[in-house]
Amino acid sequence: MERIKENRIFCRKFSRREFLGVTKAAAVGGIVAAGVVGGVAGYLAGTSAAPPATVTRTVTTTQAGAEITKTITATVPAAKKLKVGYVYVGPVGDYGWSYGHDRGRRWADEKFGVNQVESTYIESVPEAEVAGAITSLVEKGCQLIITTSFGFMDPTAEAAEKYPDRYFVHISGYKSGAAGNAPNNMSAAFAEFYQLYYLNGLAAGAVTETGVVGYVGAYPIPEVVRHINAFVLGANYAYKKRTGKNIKAHVSWIFEWVAPEKARSAAIALIEEKNCDVLAFTEDTPAVLQVAEEYQKKGKKVWSFSHYSDMREYGPTAHLTGQIANWGPIYLDFYRMVATNSWQTVDIWSRIGDYMPYRWRLPAENSTAGKPEGTVYLAPLNPVIPSQWQLEIKKRYEEMKELIFEPFSVEGNLGEPIRDQAGEVRISSGERADHDMLWNMDWLVEYIEEPLPR
Amino acid sequence: MSVEWIEQVLQLTVQMGTVYLLASLGEIYAERSGVLNLGLEGTMIMGAATSFIFSLAYGHFAAIIMSIIVGALMGFILSILVVDMKLNQVIVGLALTMLGIGLSGFITFPEIRKNLLLRLNPYLPQEILATQQSEKLPEIPIPLLSDIPILGKMFFSHNILVYFSLIASLIMWFILFKTSIGLTIRSVGENPSMADSLGVNVYLVRRVTVILSGAFASLAGAYFFIGFHPFWREEVTAGRGFIALALVILATWNPLRAILGAYLFGGVETFQYRLQLFGLGAQSPYFLAMLPYIVTIITLIIISTESIKKRLGAPASLGIPYSREE
């Protein structure tokens, strides 16, 4: 019944001549099987509301099989480009979140082939206007629409409902067909940093002289809270192993994602008030690293990290290591799914190991830590980190490729159970954090002195 | 609370407050002559963008001079629109702000910035073309004076623009209240037709003060960028031009009171993060952030009473375009 209805729509929308034109082009062009499927489906989906699944089935059964063996080298004609639309929350011109996504877009375009994909973006979209932005991308013929802010989640899910013939990817949310709370043409993806923050923490604990580390936090939301906890657990691991004493940690909140001047004030406050000498942060610019570098120039040893991009040029001396994201491989994966009509709704947290070419652990000496790979990876390690700790960091990095080691487990805390600030055990022996615990984390580990703003 | 702690907090307060002080000084003159320059934010951000590009291309001196020129130019545009063409000052001012925000984002967009920089100075190395930061203005502690406890760090261990802002507020206070030029400016803001009948060129006075306010706002933006935190992002000034506008009211159009007001706003921004670490304010950081605005609103309420308004000398024809009845 469903099938007949679909076919009728199909017939009405496409004149026979148009259809023959397409199939002829495919035949004359002599396309690889995948190329036929992807290219033709892409072309058709781009020009009408017909469900692509039906179209593809027709095409493959009638045409491609006969032509496939003849010529294999030709490329997809230009008219059948994959069309992808991105919606960014911020401007792409600066250093922050949207800039990172745009870099990922360009990376994915290049790998996919700039002749085969046409990607467009709309930047600085307020949350209230995202539905309009999505609609205009749909009208532009985009088959795949990627929205990159948490606040875009519900409008994206609604759009997925409204346009069942298009594919939607939402970044940093929890709604997807895979999770069962959105239509099947919607996926959720995220590049998750908490493992890398733990490694930063190891580096921090290895170099700190005061035994006090600081964190400039954006907003007290679970994502930032788990990054703070992971960082502090790592710092405590290294510091306690070195000295036998617990680490002390302080957090200052700036309540902004991008506010370099506020991050500067908060970083100075942490250094001056609490004697922190290693600072991690969640703020999109290198402000904290710049402050650390200024202190280094004045002769005081203060260290910081890269965040999202390789920020070494902003603090050549003060830079210890850091977390870097490349969204490209995630996007490329979705491009391929849509182009080959092999869509599968997913909910991905891309962590260490994901999208990396070799997903097995290597011996620490041969570790790839500090080299670009996958979607989230470690920035180059500063030689001031003692060599045994560099090895430890590399060992953990390699172990996390196989998810053998989990920071939020007693192994990550020198065998001690992980307690919150009230002294309550949150993770005891034999347990490790699961998705829900990470996703909803609303407690700080015991080594942090300030309460969590609520 | 050691002496060093107090010194440091005060030093940072002055560093932050200077942004507001510079921007409000020019605005005080413009409003004293009866023109509301709502383009302050846009002019400020253009100043920051100009200083970013020129400090990369030619260094700090060129950055400061060029940002003053760009600011004066924006003031000139505003003066043509609101003084000569007598357009609505609120609308034109807001339009100028939007223009400034958009234009600054445009000229600093990576590709366009690269081309601009190469035109200005074809010998720039690749890393300068791509960077988002520039060299910070050096601090020049004044010998002897900077050794005075507390005051030394607070006023005499800064970069050149901080010193300039302090000297400028003294001079501008003197000119405004102790010279005939100041009297002319104030009379134009008070009763332009009376001033006109006495032979004062109202249009000229207003145009000069608006250009001055543009130059100062732009300089404030330049200070914020190269003097406070030299990292570029779009909308770098983040609404500080509007805070400066509030500050003008808080200072009741007086350059000396503007110093206090500027340091109040600057102090709150500095303190916010320190109080968090003492366990105060972390639960509600917005409370502290709103304090200066409460003070501003209270000031507004107080000066809205007619008698106090007269005594403080709030410009009576602020925001009203002047046209000769011919």
CB within 8 Å: B277 and A451: no
Closest-CA distance of chain B to residue A93, Å: 5
Assess: ipTM above 0.85: no
How confident is the model at residue A35, as a pLDDT?
41
**Cα–Cα distance measured from residue B252 to residue B31, given in angstroms and rounded to the nearest whole number:** 10
For residue B110, name the pLDDT band (cuts at 50, 70, 90): confident
- The size of the A-B interface in CB pairs under 8 A is 89
CA distance B113 to chain A (A): 10
Spell out which residues of chain A touch residue B276, defining contact as CB-CB under 8 Å: 252-253, 269, 450
Q: pLDDT tens-digit profile of A137-150?
A: 999 999 999 999 99
Q: How many CA atoms lie within 13 A of B23 on its CB side?
A: 40
- Who among B105, B127, B285 is closest to A253 (CB)? B285
Quote the CA–CA distance of A325 and A185 in Å, as a whole number.
Answer: 25
Q: Please tell me the least confidently modeled range out of A22-26, A263-267, B211-215.
A: A22-26
Residue A309, chain B, CB below 8 Å: the answer is no
**Max mean pLDDT range (A26-30, A40-44, B126-130, B157-161):** B157-161
Strand order in the sheet with A278-281: A248-253, A212-217, A278-281
Domain borders along chain B are 3-312
Residue range B23-39: mean pLDDT, rounded = 95
Q: Which of residues 142-181 of A touch B (CB under 8 A)?
A: none
Residue A97: predicted pLDDT? 87
Could A313 and B127 be called an inter-chain contact, meaning their C-beta atoms sit closer than 8 Å?
Answer: yes
Angle (CA) B201-B205-B209 rounded to 5° is 170
Q: Residue B98 pLDDT > 90, yes or no?
A: yes
Q: CB distance from A265 to chain B under 8 Å?
A: yes
Q: Does A264 touch chain B (CB under 8 A)?
A: yes
Task: Identify residue A425 by its one-letter amino acid code.
Answer: V
Q: Distance (Å) from the C-alpha of residue A212 to the closest C-alpha of chain B?
A: 13
pLDDT above 70 (res B125): yes
The pLDDT of residue A159 is: 95
pLDDT at B257: 93
CB within 8 Å: B277 and A274: yes
Tell me the per-residue pLDDT of A232-287, one tens digit each, with 9 for 90 and over: 999 999 999 999 999 999 999 988 888 899 999 999 999 999 999 999 999 989 99
Nearest CA in chain A to B270: A265
Residue A56 Cα, gap to closest chain B Cα (Å): 41
For B13, which residue in chain A has the nearest alpha carbon?
Answer: A265
Taking an 8 Å cut-off on Cβ atoms, the answer to whether B12 and A268 are in contact is yes
The answer to whether A96 contacts chain B (CB < 8 Å) is yes
Contact B276 A269 (CB under 8 A): yes
Q: Would the CB atoms of A272 and B285 count as touching at under 8 Å?
A: no
Angle at A327 between CA A325 and CA A330, to 5 degrees: 130
Which residues of chain A are within 8 Å of residue B5 when distances are taken between CB atoms? Answer: 272
Compute CA distances B264 → A87, B299, B303, whole Å: 40, 14, 19
pLDDT tens digits for range A275-299? 999 999 999 899 999 999 999 999 9
Is B276 within 8 Å of A252 when comparing Cβ atoms?
Answer: yes
Question: Model confidence over A409-442: pLDDT tens digits?
Answer: 999 999 999 999 999 999 999 999 999 999 999 9
Dihedrals phi, psi of B185, to nearest 5 degrees:
-60, -45
Contact B283 A451 (CB under 8 A): yes
Q: What is the model's pLDDT at position A92? A: 83
| Rounded distance between C-alpha atoms, residue A56 and residue A48, angstroms | 14
* Largest distance between two CA atoms of chain B: 67
Give the pLDDT mean for A309-331.
Answer: 94
Task: For residue A425, list its beta bridge partners.
Answer: A419
Among A93, A250, A313, whose Cβ lies nearest the Cβ of B110? A93
Query: Is A270 at the interface with chain B, CB within 8 A?
Result: yes
CA dihedral A134, A139, A140, A145 (to 10 degrees): 30
Best probe of the A interface among B273, B286, B288, B290, by most A CBs < 10 A, is B273
The structure tokens 């500050």 sit at B247
Cross-chain residue pair A453–B285, CB shorter than 8 Å: yes
* pLDDT tens profile A58-70: 333 344 444 444 4
- The pair phi, psi for residue A175, each rounded to 5°, is -100, 125
Full set of structural domains in chain A with CATH: 2-67 (no CATH), 81-191+328-350 (3.40.50.2300), 194-325+408-439 (3.40.50.2300)
Architecture of the CATH domain B3-312: Orthogonal Bundle (1.10)
